[in-house]
């Protein structure tokens, strides 16, 4: 993960473009101006990124990882276990992340999903709700593939 954040490895090299990348976010709209927020100010986003959307999503994730590697207060920044690597939220309103990998038929690690949930000062109840919602969305995206 640190190699990704330093630019020594690219995320697009880890994604199967036929499968795409399942991506989910769960966070509050701190600005009060995000058009994706519901009436309670909660933003829930889930997508199977393919094609141009995949290229844009990977670029945004690489930029986020670069910022984290350069500016993180945590050491170690990433924890990897059982096919998933996580990073904490750096501060209030930041999102913690989980990058999940699976082995393909050749044994190569393939990035299959990324989940980002607001961390910082959020409650355990908020965290559990975010985990439930993103898990259910990832399950529904798992069987899809890119056109």
- pTM, full prediction: 0.94
Statement: residue 144 has pLDDT above 90: no
Residue 142's pLDDT band (cuts 50, 70, 90)? confident
The predicted structure's pLDDT at residue 105:
93
Q: Are 126 and 38 in contact (CB under 8 A)?
A: no
pLDDT tens for each residue of 100-140: 999 999 999 999 999 999 998 899 999 999 999 999 999 88
Walk across the sheet containing 79-81 and list its strands: 42-49, 21-28, 109-118, 95-103, 84-87, 79-81
Q: Which pLDDT score is estimated for 133?
A: 98
94 has pLDDT over 90: yes
pLDDT score recorded for residue 12: 94
Q: Which residue has the tokens 């949930």?
A: 117
pLDDT at 62 over 90: yes
Q: What is the pLDDT of residues 16-48, one digit of tens each?
A: 999 999 999 999 998 999 999 999 999 999 999
Asked if 23 and 7 count as a contact pair (C-beta separation under 8 A), the reply is no
How far is Cα 112 from Cα 84, in angstroms, rounded to an integer?
10
Q: Residue 129: its pLDDT value, please? A: 97
Query: Are 19 and 145 within 8 A, CB to CB?
Result: yes
Of 113, 104, 110, the closest CA to residue 134 belongs to: 113
Look at residue 147 in the predicted model and tell me its pLDDT: 87
Q: What percent of the chain has pLDDT over 90?
A: 86
């Amino acid at each position: 993960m640190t190699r990704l954040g330093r630019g020594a490895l690219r995320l697009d090299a880890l994604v199967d473009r036929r499968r795409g990348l399942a991506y989910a976010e769960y966070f509050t709209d701190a600005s009060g101006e995000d058009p994706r927020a519901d009436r309670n100010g909660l933003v829930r986003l889930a997508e199977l990124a393919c094609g141009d959307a995949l290229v844009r999503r990977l670029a945004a994730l690489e930029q986020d990882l670069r910022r984290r590697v350069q500016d993180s207060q945590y050491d170690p920044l990433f924890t990897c276990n059982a096919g998933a690597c996580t990073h904490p939220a750096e501060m209030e309103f930041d999102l913690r992340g989980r990058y999940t990998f699976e082995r393909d038929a050749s044994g190569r690690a393939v990035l299959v999903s990324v989940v980002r949930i607001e961390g910082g000062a959020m409650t355990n109840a908020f965290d559990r709700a975010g985990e439930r919602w993103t898990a259910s969305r990832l399950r529904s995206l798992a069987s899809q593939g890119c056109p």
